[in-house]
Structure 1
Amino acid sequence: MIPRHAASDLAHRLGEYAEAVCRHYLSNGRRQGNYWTVGDVRNSPGRSMFVRLQPSPKGPPGKWTDAATGEHGDLLDVIRESLALVDFKDVVGEARAFLAIPPSEPLRPKEATTRLPTPIGSPEAARRLVAMSKPIIGTLVETYLRGRAITTLHGTAALQFHPHCYYRPDDHGATETWPAMIAAVTDLDGRLTGAHRTWLAPDGTGKAPVDTPRRAMGDLLGHAVRFGVPGSVMAAGEGIETTLSLRCVLPDMAMAAALSAAHLAAILFPPNLQRLYVIRDNDPAGDGARDSLFERATDAGIEAIVLSPETEDFNEDLRHFGLADFRASIADQLMRKDRIRYLTQAA
């Protein structure tokens, strides 16, 4: 038996991500203002059922009513009816899987859900995490980035904020929740293949005090966190903060963060790319990624130019030297035509 208070808490958590729940389980509907409309709780096409997406004087998000039948309920009912689940334990299991909440104890085979839970770390889990997150402006992510001197935040839709992202310690200790910057990893066609999490301190002034504050999930090889639509020119680097630092002086140049040296070396090239600026980190792994990517680009007929920091990476350069001196150091490394095209607009 699931305690009533536990079910109520689960419904409340689902309500915090009401739109993401509706998009997943009531996919035949659509958003209209502060409501999700669909035919009925079993996901039939139509508009007679309304799911509240925002808190209001009428009640919390996630509550729904079917005007045609008088049925009403919460998002646990949506999961039960849309998937035709019978056992409430199956409903709870599905809800916990959607929210990426680790189970308190393993389910016995006879209690397994009718639909397999989403594997932890899979592309589907990454898609759900991104769907449950929200834009960064006005959140702890903005605080964190501005604290690292990154102030050019337009065109960063690939970054999202999750206020309570689950963190599992490497030593298999108790699961914790921390605010997190969520970065969507996409392929060249814009399809989401993975996600990257940076757990943050509660006030956003730095990373969370955990052993591994950065982790990626999903299908990453060849893909990246992308800022802007690449044309004939783009830049690619390892870290999100390093890449965003370069955007502070080249805000109109398309860029991609591959998330590691190994993935930077394997990043896929857009079909129309003619010139690639390789953002180098000043360490042995960065040198290896630079050499591999330079060779791959040259073999593909793409002009490759390496951009090097004066310190360990571009974010440290930006914070240590300031924006004006950082811009000057980048200008010296760009082709003249790109200085005219990109730097004059950023000055």
Structure 2
Amino acid sequence: MYSETEDLVRDLAENAEGVCRAYLPAGRREGSYWIVGDLQNNPGRSLFVRLTGPTSGPGAAGKFTDGATGEHGDLLDIIRARTGITRFPDLLAEARAHLGRPQPVVPDRQEPRKAKAPGGTPVAAARLFAASNPITGTLAETYLRSRGITQFGANGALRFHPNCWHREEGQTRSIPRPAMIAAVTDGAGAVQGVHRTWLAADGQGKAAVNPQRRAMGHLLGNAVRLTSQDDILVVGEGIETMLSL
């Protein structure tokens, strides 16, 4: 029987380093572990989070142990400790947001709900970007090279997520697909949104889906900044177009 909780725990474990970077940023990766002081994100070397391993059983990815206190658990426990969330449904909602998953729609029988603003929140966008991988050696690099693009920007604005949720136009079910993730930032460099381009499984073009691109977060007045601004600022439409330039 399908269990969304088990599915979320598994997806979090597959992206354990991204979870640790988002919720335990005082730590750092050493080999197959993320090491930090404790669940309160203090500096130190007491708490170990396994970043690689099987999906379950001994040595599973996403499991942590605090050598000083004996505490142990999984990534959901880390998210609970760092956010202070007490209600389990809210904890699952936080995990979905970090993974870039859509939240379930609960019908309101009292009165019609107002349409939700499209694109999600800057917080969810920042989490998705943090959960993504550097572009080098990924399908996103393969895709750009297939377009004749060999320069990927100097600001680290482009990343790759292997399982970014996509919902086909007119459908209700979302499917995880590989995607190029671009950070949409404000003038101070803070992530306010992300732009997603879903890719073919071999990276040789965009995925055969509709839509092939989507943005989320706060976009107005912000931009995907591919290089630092100097004496000349060039503004254009399309990541690939501007990288080509």
TM-score scaled by length of structure 2: 0.82
Partner-residue secondary structure (3-state), 2:7: helix
How many matched pairs?
Answer: 231
Q: Aligned residue for 1:11?
A: 9
Q: Aligned residue for 1:25?
A: 23
Structure 1 residues 96 and 187 mapped into 2: Cα distance closer, same or farther (>3 Å)?
A: closer
User: How far off is 1:200 after superposition?
Assistant: 0.9
Amino acid at match of 1:49: L
Q: Aligned residue for 2:73?
A: 73
Structure 1 residues 233 and 84 mapped into 2: Cα distance closer, same or farther (>3 Å)?
A: closer
Render the CA deviation track for 1:156-204: whole Å, top value 9, x for unaligned: 6211111111112331432122111111111222221211011111111
Structure 1 residues 51 and 216 mapped into 2: Cα distance closer, same or farther (>3 Å)?
A: same
Q: Aligned residue for 1:189?
A: 188
Partner-residue secondary structure (3-state), 2:233: strand
Partner-residue secondary structure (3-state), 2:164: strand
User: How far off is 1:154 after superposition?
Assistant: 5.8
User: How far off is 1:219 after superposition?
Assistant: 1.7
Render the CA deviation track for 1:295-334: whole Å, top value 9, x for unaligned: xxxxxxxxxxxxxxxxxxxxxxxxxxxxxxxxxxxxxxxx
Partners of 1:83 and 1:135 in 2: how far apart?
26
Greater fraction helix? 1
User: How far off is 1:155 after superposition?
Assistant: 2.5
Structure with the bigger RCO (C-alpha within 8 Å, sep 6+) is: 2
Render the CA deviation track for 1:60-81: whole Å, top value 9, x for unaligned: 3321111111121111121233
Contact 2:153–2:226 (Cα < 8 Å) also in 1: no
Structure 1 residues 174 and 236 mapped into 2: Cα distance closer, same or farther (>3 Å)?
A: same
Contact 2:121–2:217 (Cα < 8 Å) also in 1: yes
Partner-residue secondary structure (3-state), 1:226: coil
Which has the greater radius of gyration? 1
Structure 2: 5+ residue runs without aligned partners?
Answer: 109-117
Q: Aligned residue for 1:63?
A: 63
After TM superposition, list the pairs within 5 Å mapping 1:1-347 onto structure 2: 6-27=4-25, 29-34=26-31, 35-41=33-39, 43=40, 45-47=42-44, 48-55=46-53, 59-104=59-104, 106=106, 121-153=120-152, 155=154, 157-246=156-245
User: How far off is 1:90 after superposition?
Assistant: 3.8
Amino acid at match of 1:59: G
Structure 1 residues 208 and 30 mapped into 2: Cα distance closer, same or farther (>3 Å)?
A: same
Structure 1 residues 84 and 231 mapped into 2: Cα distance closer, same or farther (>3 Å)?
A: closer
Structure 1: 5+ residue runs without aligned partners?
Answer: 109-118, 247-347
Structure 1 residues 83 and 230 mapped into 2: Cα distance closer, same or farther (>3 Å)?
A: closer
Query: How many percent of aligned residue pairs carry the same amino acid?
Result: 52
- Name the Cα RMSD after superposition: 2.7
Structure 1 residues 78 and 239 mapped into 2: Cα distance closer, same or farther (>3 Å)?
A: same
Amino acid at match of 1:240: I
